[in-house]
Amino acid sequence: MEPEVIHFIVCDDVRADPHNFHRLDVRGIRIRLRVRQKPPLRLDFCFLAILVGFRGTGKLKVRIVEYSSRRRIAETPSYLVTYPRVPSEVVTAVFRMGQCNLPQLGRYRVELIDGSVVLRQTPFWLLPQE
């Protein structure tokens, strides 16, 4: 089985269902963020990554990058992950980033990184309130 990131989601929060170990509740999926204030803005983020097929150990982190300039905006600490011995087992990782400073309106991307390898990217936009 080839390693794969099944889902990489930007959201408000992720909670485990206390009655079902295999279920997560994802709140407030973020793709386009409409804001009333002018940047720079300080926002809280949550990121959900679901992976399968990885072996051994890894160092996972999440980074926000301004799309046009490729400038790093923020980054979580790296977390050591021990992947399951059975490659078909699913791994869930939740990252939280508080008070991320977004300098301007426009397109950003979020990167899921293992060591120095970008596993997956997902875009989001910071737009003015209409």
**pLDDT range class, residue 21, cuts 50, 70, 90:** confident
Q: What CATH number did the domain enclosing 120 receive?
A: 2.60.40.1930
Please state the three-class secondary structure of 23-91 as a single string.
CEEEECCCCEEEECCCCCEEEEEEEEEEEECCCCEEEEEEEEEECCCCCEEEECCCEEEECCCCCCCEE
Which residue type sits at 10?
V
The predicted-structure confidence for 72-116, as pLDDT tens digits, reads as follows: 999 999 999 999 999 899 999 999 999 999 999 999 999 999 999
**pLDDT range class, residue 12, cuts 50, 70, 90:** very high
CB 129 within 8 A of CB 36: yes
What pLDDT is attached to residue 93? 95
The predicted-structure confidence for 1-10, as pLDDT tens digits, reads as follows: 789 999 999 9
Cis ω before 3 (30° cut-off from 0): no
Taking all residues of the chain, what is their mean pLDDT, rounded to a whole number?
94
Exposed/middle/buried for residue 98 (C-beta within 10 Å: 0-12, 13-18, 19+): exposed
What pLDDT is attached to residue 130? 79
Mean pLDDT of 115-119: 96
Give the domain extent around 50.
4-128
The total number of structural domains in the chain stands at 1
What pLDDT is attached to residue 22? 84
Residue of 103 and 21 predicted with greater confidence: 103
**pLDDT range class, residue 62, cuts 50, 70, 90:** very high
